[in-house]
Amino acid sequence: MKISGIVKSVPFLNGNDLATKARQLLRNEKLLFVEKDGNFRGMIDRTTALQITGDKSTLTALDIAKPPLYQTTPDDTVEHVARKMLKYNTYILPVFDGTHPIGYVGLSEILAILILENEHVAKMRIGDMMRTYPIYVDAEDSIVKLWNIMEEIQYSGVPVIRVATSRKDRFNKLAGYVSKKDLLLSGNVRKSIHAGMSRSNQPKVEKIMNRTPILLSEDDTVSTFVEKMIQHDVSRIPVVNEGYELKGIVGKMDVLKLLVEGW
């Protein structure tokens, strides 16, 4: 099956537009193309937009646009694109018709197709394939610490916990989740990262986290993950027990790996 039917459109920015306009658009968009004088000059994603600070407000879209490291064409197949995404560890591939960009294909759409063709993976229990001991931040951690962790691991988001106590022991209770989109929506992030605030004055993660994230249980199936991923437009979903103890996490790339390795 060719990917031409699942290519999503991408807004174009003029190279002279301010970079702050790109940051604003990427609160809702996942990717922007930049052109100047009718020529494609690069693209901007959320990771790049998060690096734009108030003291860099004179930067233009052309200043921060980057050439795509990987790309595909409308005639490429779903299976081939899936392998590319796994190889390059990317959720998005820009789609080009010759030298002209026409949109992007997302991993969500790829998984939605592939899961229908693999009943074994679709019915797999989340507890049997999730990542245990996931990287997380504490609700009391600073936004700067959160940013540094996300920069290092290059994840789209991380769970937020608070240490809780039961009759038997202490455990990490899920308090929320923070994604790159949450960071973009928060003006505190850019100010905190570059303002040189003392640790005691830095805003805490709890100020920007999503307090009602989408969740999975260990007894849910991979098919349920894909359904929630598409319905809520998320890339990673925490796994909890009845007491909201963080037990693991499942991401798009985890499911893609299962599907590709099964071919």
pLDDT band per the 50, 70, 90 thresholds, residue 126: very high
Three-class SS of residue 43?
strand
Q: Can you say how many angstroms the Cα of residue 225 is from the centroid of all Cα atoms in its chain?
A: 15
Same domain, 198 and 133: yes
Between 213 and 186, the higher pLDDT residue = 213
Q: What CATH number is given to the structural domain containing 237?
A: 3.10.580.10
Going by C-beta distance under 8 Å and a sequence separation of 6 or more, which residues neighbour residue 60? 15, 16, 17, 18, 19
Q: What percent of the chain has pLDDT over 70?
A: 92
- CB burial string 224-242: b at 16+ within 10 A, e below: bbbebbeeeebbbbbbbee
| Prediction pTM value | 0.91
Range of the domain at 206: 126-255
Phi first, then psi: what are they for 6, rounded to 5°? -120, 15
Say how many C-beta atoms besides its own lie within 10 A of residue 127's C-beta.
17
Whether residue 191 is predicted with pLDDT greater than 70 in this model: the reply is no
Asked, for residue 32, whether it belongs to a domain, the answer is yes
Asked, for residue 262, whether it belongs to a domain, the answer is no
pLDDT band per the 50, 70, 90 thresholds, residue 192: low
Same domain, 93 and 190: no
DSSP states along 73-120: -TTSBHHHHHHHHHHHT-SEEEEEETTEEEEEEEHHHHHHHHGGG-HH
Residue 141 CA to residue 154 CA, distance in Å, equals: 18
| β-pair partners for 103 | 95
Same domain, 98 and 151: no
Residue 44 CA to residue 47 CA, distance in Å, equals: 8
pLDDT number for residue 190: 59
Same domain, 17 and 42: yes
Residue 50 CA to residue 180 CA, distance in Å, equals: 8
Residue 211 CA to residue 209 CA, distance in Å, equals: 6
Q: Give residue 67's identity as a one-letter amino acid code.
A: P
List the one residue out of 248, 187, 260 whose CA is nearest residue 217: 248
pLDDT number for residue 66: 96
Residue 98 CA to residue 19 CA, distance in Å, equals: 27
Q: Read off the DSSP letter of residue 183.
A: H
Same domain, 101 and 152: no
Whether residue 263 is predicted with pLDDT greater than 80 in this model: the reply is no
**70-79, 160-169, 188-197, range with greatest mean pLDDT:** 70-79
Residue 105 CA to residue 3 CA, distance in Å, equals: 7
Same domain, 149 and 100: no
Element at 221 (helix H, strand E): none
